[in-house]
Amino acid sequence: MAQADSVPSLVRGTITGAALNRSTKRPDRRYFIGGSDARIIVGKDEAALLRLWREKRGEAGLEDLSGNLVVQLGAVTEELNRRWYEANTGQVTTDVQKHIRHPGLRWMAATLDGRVEASGAVFEAKFMLPWSFSEEAAAEKYAPQLQHNMWVVAAPTAVLSVITGGGKWVEIKTHADPLYQHLIVTWCRRKPSRRLAMVSGPSARNRGPLVSTL
């Protein structure tokens, strides 16, 4: 089991509820690793990993995604996605945009799209382009984020609700995988340091750890 006394180097600074972005009153993403961060850490995009590392260390501002049309389509269709899921399944979602920290690993957190009231499943709403969509590809792409969020809130299952640009809606169910979740915790603690040393050269090792200890 993962212990709370080792905090990944991707998160530095105070890891408390006081670490809020004062202008929005939302949790400051620099002070925790969320589900989308886990997807980057587990993934193969070295440029995204380096950018994430710099953001968490306060060396770069958060990436401006206002000009990314796919991201914006995901944002504006999230509420529609939730309502469509509820209408087609008869389920009710709660805890919309609720920010939760893992009770032991305080550097791990999730800002939920919601939870399914009846089962406690994590609800995740996504928008995908039709020519890049398949159920298998969607499940693989978002597995790190779903497993991370299930780990944080101790949920046994998750629901991935996908709307595509082709006017298709798909519900994909998945179960918590303890081994995968353990690997995500391990990757979040250790893998970024090794990979960043390869991406950025020896200087990456000399800028201090990616993890700060509570």
Higher pLDDT, 70 or 4: 70
Please state, as a whole number, how many other Cβ atoms lie within 10 Å of the Cβ of residue 177: 15
pLDDT of res. 134: 94
pLDDT of res. 108: 93
Mean pLDDT, rounded, for 108-120: 97
Rounded Cα gap, residues 69 and 214, in angstroms: 38
CA-nearest of 110, 176, 100 to 143 is 176
- Can you list the domains of the chain with their CATH numbers? 20-207 (3.90.320.10)
- Rounded to the nearest angstrom, the gap between the alpha carbon of residue 124 and the centroid of all alpha carbons in its chain is 10
Half-sphere exposure of 52 (CA within 13 A, CB side): 29
Higher pLDDT, 11 or 42: 42
In the predicted structure, residue 77 carries a pLDDT above the cut 70: yes
Q: Confidence band (pLDDT; 50, 70, 90) for 161?
A: very high
Most confident among 6-20, 36-50, 187-201 (mean pLDDT): 36-50
Pairing of strands 93-94, 114-116: antiparallel
Q: Confidence band (pLDDT; 50, 70, 90) for 123?
A: very high
Give residue 97's region: left, alpha or beta (phi > 0; psi -120 to 50). left
